[in-house]
Amino acid sequence: MRYQVFNRQRAFRRTLVCLALAAAYSSAWALPAFTLNPSAAGMNGSSFTADNILISDFSSVNFTDATHFTDTGLLQVTSFQLGNSTFTPPGLNSSGGYSLWFEFTGTGHLTSGTAATLASAPSNGEFDSLTYTFNGAAGTSTFDVVGSTPTRTGPASILLASGALIEGGVGSTSAGGGHFVPTAAATVSFATAAGASGFFESPSPFYNVALSAFTNTLSEVSFNGTGFTIRQGGGSVNFASPVPEPDTYALMLGGLGVLGFLARRRRS
């Protein structure tokens, strides 16, 4: 992705602003569509078209001091969306089918708040580094956090894509009753893996930008003395291509993805 560098002190606040703008103008915006073909990567599933990926977050955040942290995790793909309609492609996470997930590791720091105040006060910060892989498997996978380690049990993984941080922000938002929960948003490069181009059926060439945003509830977050873990947190991943004023556009798309995820939660 060839995006301009975001203002580091304002990245996460701008994400929240774009979420609000997306709520106001969502009817006038559409996420870029894409077509994936699991069978082209050796997985038992037919091609389908979507514009948003919904994920379940299994991750662990550990602070090395009051403001600096490491973040590792697995993001299980649970379903997709197209035009705000949620669907599960045949074979995804089903017996005899296939599984998809992102695996990531990153570092970052807080610009307001500390590790000790995350659960009780608002905070803001940014990612300093982030790398990830997008993977599939010919069979179902089980995800969990064991102790403080995100784990996957299942068939051998198939590398589909990878990427690294362009810019991203973290923070905590009120969950009511004096409680706060972590949130995050990131824009990353997206490069299809050698031999996996058939999986990314359309567009061709595929998007080179991935946009992600994550939100949680109190029941999904467990705080400890050095950080927190997330089990089945929620979020979304969608795509875009470089455009003029790309940082604003990218964050708007990420915001729309979160709105889609939250809408799904309200319906469930």
For residue 70, the SS3 value is strand
pLDDT at position 24: 34
**pLDDT of 240:** 82
C-alpha 127/C-alpha 264 separation (Å) is 27
Range with the lowest mean pLDDT among 83-97, 108-122, 136-150, 251-265?
Answer: 251-265
| Other beta carbons within 10 Å of 89 | 21
pTM of the model: 0.83
Q: Are 142 and 83 in contact (CB under 8 A)?
A: no
Confidence of residue 267 (pLDDT cuts 50, 70, 90): very low
Residue that is written with structure tokens 């580091």 in the block:
8
State percent of the chain over pLDDT 70: 79
Residue 84 pLDDT = 87
* 70 neighbors 92 (Cβ within 8 angstroms): no
- Kindly state the average pLDDT of the residues 245-266: 47
CA-CA distance, 60 to 29, in Å (whole number)?
33
pLDDT at 83 over 60: yes
Whether pLDDT at 106 is above 90:
yes
- Residue 166 to residue 157: CA distance in whole angstroms: 26
Cα radius of gyration rounded to whole Å, the chain? 17
pLDDT score of 1 more than 60: no
| CA pair distance 67, 60, nearest whole angstrom | 16
C-alpha distances in Å from residue 138, one per residue of 94, 135, 253: 11, 11, 30
Give the per-residue pLDDT at 29.
54
Residue 225's pLDDT band (cuts 50, 70, 90): confident
Q: What pLDDT sits at residue 203?
A: 95
Q: 30 pLDDT band (50/70/90 cuts)?
A: confident
